[in-house]
Structure 1
Amino acid sequence: MKFRKIVTGISVTAVAALALVGCAPGGSGDGSASADQTLTIGALADITDWDPAQAHVGHALQPYQAPYDTLILREPDGKLSPMLATKWSYDDSLTKLTVDLRDDVTFSDGAKFDADAVVANFTHFQKENGRQAAQLVNLDKAVATDEDTVEVTLKQPDPAFTYFLSQAAGLMGSPKALDGDAIGSDPVGTGPYVMDKKASVAGSQYVFTKRKGYWNPDLQKFGGVTFKILIDVTARTNALVSGQVNATLLDARSASQADGAGFTLTKSQVDWGGLLLLDREGKLAPALGDVRVRQAINYALDRKALVKSLQVGYGTATAQPFGPASGAYDKSLDDAYPYDPAKAKKLLAEAGYADGFTLTVPGIASFEAIYAAVGQQLSEVGITLKADPVPDQEIVNKIAGGSFPAAYFQLFQGEAWVAINQIISTNALYNSFDSMTPELQELIDEVQAAPTAKEGDAAAKKINELVVDQAWFAPLYRLDQLYYTDKTVTVVAQTQMAVPSIYNYAPAGAK
């Protein structure tokens, strides 16, 4: 079984919850608010390398937005807007993208931002093979046709390419700095803030101050931004309540403490959690090779009860892997498998498993309570869930490498094409047994070649319907992301992102 490195869209919030760290003093929470105040954010993970080619997604992308701009800006609702790029357009083949650039931007080291800088960043991003290298997997070449125009040639149509230019692949570092090692600890970009090296401590906090002469001062809503590294949710909760940070992401078990202390909650849904029924040909678990068994697993799950018990009500029961903002979402599929243990038993009997079977999954401490609850429900129809311990750091490799026939995981609900290449296509990290049918492949090809987003979404909806009908997965719920802020700041949620972009924060009372 081959192991792929196409990691775009992995739920980093799920992985970040596996480590621990203490909280550091600092921040402001005294109720005062002004454009000169420092925004202090409780971050979920350390940034071990500030090279833009090593940037990740979701909450791990947020800190990079302080020193770096992206070519394209992703608005809170997901709309793509100009940033360093003023406009962009494809040719009829959808493989040539022309990108026009701003001509009034410089990097923090004084170098000019231009088309050559964009080409240098694309080359560097591909060469460094960072955590989101797959975002430029379809890039064949990029050419500066003049000082402020870049022509990009793709190996094949990529419906998510412009989206990726608002993500890690779109972060622009100074070409002078890209050739050395210093950028790993001292970011050099065109962004609204610059790192204060003396005040920053690796693994503890990263301090940024407002950059003078920044091309878009409207985005500089604070005098500075500090990221305090607080991986443990208890540490984040304590830091928020004690005034050490202004904003941070908590979980369902910590919400009551923040609610009781009067902090403002902003909710959004980014990830879905559920069973990946990976072995659809029955190579490791013969039972999973029968669609009736996979459907029986779905009917055996009381999703609403699981939302209540595991998420304290912070979530939405669902039987589909695509989210509402994906373009592939179909509301009716949320209840495609209503809780019906009698029907589950009937399907198991028809498939030859009236006496049940044992399903082995990778077990880690973070998912212990989930496996216990899901295992109890499955046992009521005769299925025994057996969790074999796996070290936290090996969980992705074990799932993606085909070591287990099924697994519980939490996954990012991104754009339709991103999700397809995360969990469904034969290139997907989480299609570890290369499951595919001619009908499904034809629909995937339709999404890729669709001349408009509307046509692509229509094909993606059919993909969603097909994989739900064939029970490729047994989703449980979409998790609520619980983002809390103190009274000195306001924030707007960022669609498909566990934490807001830094542009979405503002001092309380600011217009």
Structure 2
Amino acid sequence: MLRHRTAPALAAIALLTAASVTACGSSATGTSQEQGDTLTVVSASPPASMDPAKANVGSDNWFVNLTYDTVLRMREGGKVDAGLATKWGYVGDGNQTFDFTLRDGVKFADGTPVTAEAVAASLEYSRKNGLNVSWVSAIDSVTATGPLTVRIHCSSPHPNVPHLLTQLLMIGSVISPKGLADPAKLGTQSFGAGPYVLDTANTASGDHYTYTPNPNYWDKSKIHWKKVVIKVVPNPNSALQAVKTGQADIISLNAGQVDTAKSGGLTITKSPIFFMGVNLADREGILAPPLKDVRVRQALNYAVDRQAIAKAVVQDYGQPTDQITLPGLDSYAADYDNHYPYDVAKAKQLLADAGYPNGFSLKMETQGMAGIDLVTQAVVQQWKQIGVSVDLTTDTSIGQWLSNATSKKYSALGFGYGGATGYLASLDWMLPHPTAFNPFASQDPELTRRLAAAAAAPADRAPALYQDVMRYAVDQAWFVAVLRMDGIYAYNAKKVTGFAAAIGYLPDLAWTTAPKA
């Protein structure tokens, strides 16, 4: 990304699907089975926190999901399925009230029961103390309505409550009352009901994290390993070498490492995971008056050779795009993927028509991570052809990026963002409140009207409405999307099975990654 919960551009990868779930039954509880010895995974960085509410979506999922069970589970293929809850769905029309029923007899790793009261308290903690304010902004209460039943009420339509409760976003990662009683410990210890517990005695923060089976887990068939170890190896070449030589089993790759991984006998799994480009944030022209004119914003889109940039940055592991979504998500409009073909002459004409025949200048900020800066620099170079000059600042840390992105000192922002449903993306990008992706709180009454209609719509009608929203935003040129790229992983298929990436789904260490028979 990356995508972080404060502003999903910082930590990578919260992939979601469009499907809204109305009801479902439970999955059967399994029995214990033969386990593999040790699964070793390589991570480029340590977790921001072991607290599910404060962890980074994407980069921290594996660290957290091993120890915390979630209310619902996202399955490969994008289906929301049973987790700690066996029944769930919206009440009535309008997507504002959501009920679910928990499994009976489930315990946290510390032995205390998983009750509706405990789950409601955990969700309230994550809602009020989590990093992503926008995604839960519509939720105004979480209440235990019985020993095993919980109601979530929203002040406005929220069609994606089921997605919030899955392992992908971790808001539904249930924390025990003992953990909530001492929040300071949540960052370094585990207080969940998941298949494993963090073995703090054999964990060195920032270096390696060791997990052992939770003896109280409700489904022993999901505990596939006697031990799981996540090693932090910042150097990508050293990390890949560890997997090639059998010191580790799983790694996330960049495009330039794929051939080396394949030649070393590793198996590759990949899926579109996030997109990058330039956000034309100053749409009212407060700092850069030309950006107030839609013709100028459209000119900046026509002046970008997306095909060339995509080939240079992601090679064969990504595609050019004009929209801020991914194929397979509800707001993806296939007919708008090449809405702004590369056309310098047309870009110059639009600038001239808007009164800027010689171009203009603006200040831009970008992120020096995950290739976002490379994409931004390429766009800046291509804009020079139409007379647009950029004073570019490159940030090297998440904190610096957040500070600059929300400072209102930059008219444009280089971005990376993980695929999200139309509703969740709109909370960051399109609704008139300040976020790191809409720092000037830009508003468009027509866009807001369309979003309200889509959020309240039944599940079968929502995708078409969100696709029209995306077409409208692209027409208004609120951004210069450039490319989408794949998340790429390599693993030892001689030892590991059930490890896969897909749209709407991250490879799942906790439930599906198992020893090869």
Q: Is this a same-fold pair by TM over 0.5?
A: yes
Aligned to 1:273: 276
Partner of 1:65: 65
1:110 paired to 2:116:
no
| Offset at residue 464 of structure 1 (A) | 0.3
| Gap change, CA 1:499 and 1:349, over 3 Å in 2 | farther
Could you list the per-position Cα deviations for residues 253-286 of structure 1 after superposition, in whole angstroms to 9, with x for gaps in the alignment? 2323223222111111111100111111211112
Following the alignment from structure 1 to structure 2, what is the Cα–Cα distance between the partners of residues 498 and 190?
20
The 1-side partners of 2:418 and 2:82 are apart by: 25
- Work out the number of aligned pairs and report it: 484
Residue 435 of structure 1: which of 413, 418, 442 is its match?
442
Deviations 1:316-342 (A, max 9, x none): 111111212320111111110111111
**Distance in 2 between the 1:494 and 1:219 partners?**
20
Structure 1 residue 173: deviation in Å? 1.6
Tell whether the 8 Å contact from 1:494 to 1:500 is kept in structure 2 after alignment: no
What residue in structure 2 maps to residue 26 of structure 1? Answer: none
Higher mean Cα deviation, 218-227 or 131-140?
131-140
- Aligned counterpart, 1:19: none
Candidates 391, 395, 407, aligned match of 2:401: 395
Aligned residues: CA RMSD: 2.2
- Map 1:108-507 to 2 at 5 A: 108-127=109-128, 129-166=129-166, 167-180=169-182, 181-363=184-366, 365-366=368-369, 367-392=372-397, 393-427=399-433, 428-450=435-457, 452-487=458-493, 488-490=495-497, 491-496=499-504, 499-500=507-508, 502-507=510-515
Contact in 2 for aligned 1:303/1:317 (Cα 8 Å): yes
- Code of the residue aligned with 1:10 in structure 2: it is A
Instruction: Give CA-to-partner distance per residue, 1:11-66, whole Å, 9 cap, x none.
Output: 4139xxxxxxxxxxxxxxxxxxx732221111233225323332331231222111
Q: Deviations 1:315-370 (Å, cap 9, x if unpaired)? A: 11111112123201111111101111111111112112221222321155444433
Q: Distance in 2 between matches of 1:419 and 1:474?
A: 16
Could you tell me how far apart the structure 2 residues matched to 1:499 and 1:352 are? 50
Shift of 1:438: 1.6
Query: With structure 2 as the length reference, what TM-score do the two structures score?
Result: 0.88
2-side partners of 1:363 and 1:190: how far apart?
A: 39
SS at match of 1:37: strand
Q: Distance in 2 between matches of 1:165 and 1:344?
A: 44
- Aligned position for 2:27: none
Task: Supply the distance in 1 between the matched residues of 2:217 and 2:243 (Cα, whole angstroms).
Answer: 30
- C-alpha offsets along residues 83-122 of structure 1, whole Å, 9 cap, x if unaligned? 1011112222532222111002111111011111112212
C-alpha distance in structure 1 between counterparts of 2:5 and 2:51, whole Å:
20
Letter matched to residue 150 of structure 1: V
Q: Judging changes above 3 Å, is the alpha-carbon distance between structure 1 residues 183 and 274 closer, same or farther for their aligned structure 2 residues?
A: closer
Matched to 2:476, the amino acid is Q
Cα 1:54/1:254, change in 2 over 3 Å: same
Q: Which runs of 5+ in 2 are unaligned?
A: 14-33
How far apart, CA to CA, are the structure 2 residues paired with 1:186 and 1:365? 31
Q: CA deviation at 1:242?
A: 3.3
1:101 maps to 2:102:
yes
List aligned pairs for 1:31-110, cutoff 5 A: 35-92=35-92, 93-110=94-111
Contact 1:275 1:473 in 2 (8 A): yes
Helix, strand or coil at the partner of 1:274: strand
- Asked if the contact 2:88–2:101 (Cα under 8 Å) also holds between the matched residues in 1, the reply is yes
- The more displaced of 106-115 and 91-100 is 91-100
Cα distance in 2 between the residues matched to 1:319 and 1:444: 20
**Cα distance in 1 between the residues matched to 2:229 and 2:288:** 49
